[in-house]
Amino acid sequence: MILEDFKNMNDILNQLEKCMIVPVVVLENAKDAKPLGEALCNGGLPCAEVTFRTEAAEESIRIMSESFPDMLVGAGTVLTTEQVDRAVNAGAKFIVSPGFDEEIVDYCLEKGITVLPGCATPSEVAKAVKRGLEVVKFFPAEQAGGLPMIKAMAAPYTMVKFMPTGGINPENVKDYLAFNKIFACGGSWMVKNTLVENQEFDKICELSKEAVTIAKSIRG
């Protein structure tokens, strides 16, 4: 990895951290990508983790990235290096995996791609630290022990910040964001499948604004 790649990765992480809350998006139809991206940007959340759980993910990333150049669009639930290539070619600026997949992490680092691997145990965090990563995803957050587990792992791994995802909601997100080792929180409450399916993009915009207000009440 060359110095320029390292700088770009840091820039992306800095932008992502400023968002404080990262919408975790599942899109069944790529036609919803543009109005959803617009709703998130207008709501003050110009970022999204578009999960590779559906066939529409790749095209949705492409549409969001092209329609909103200033929006930080990444790919989530990435399970293979082939998906990494597809996501990045579509415009994804960062890769998120549900677990610590050494092949995916090493592949991304080799290519200078920002990657946030899922880590739910100290052993997985240790693998991340060994590779020079300073930010990891904590998934599934609530089911894996929530904030107490993050605090326990952050004690020995003082150089690591966590992005909890899974079970994060408007109530508990405040507690997470109040801890200084939380990088940002991944959440889907403002982009629920039913809201997208029913084309309730005004509601998504409204919920995004509320999420930003909550985050700013904790972090200013």
Cα angle, residue 154 at apex, residues 151 and 156 outer, rounded to 5°: 125
Catalytic residue among 58, 93, 137, 161: 137
Which of 113, 88, 116 has its CA nearest to residue 22? 116
In SS3 terms, 26-43 reads as: CCCCHHHHHHHHHHHHHC
Please give the structure tokens belonging to residue 153: 């792992």
Which of 59, 104, 102 has its CA nearest to residue 77? 104
Q: Is 59 a catalytic residue?
A: no
Catalytic residue among 49, 58, 93, 161: 49
Q: Is 137 a catalytic residue?
A: yes
Q: Catalytic positions, please?
A: 49, 137
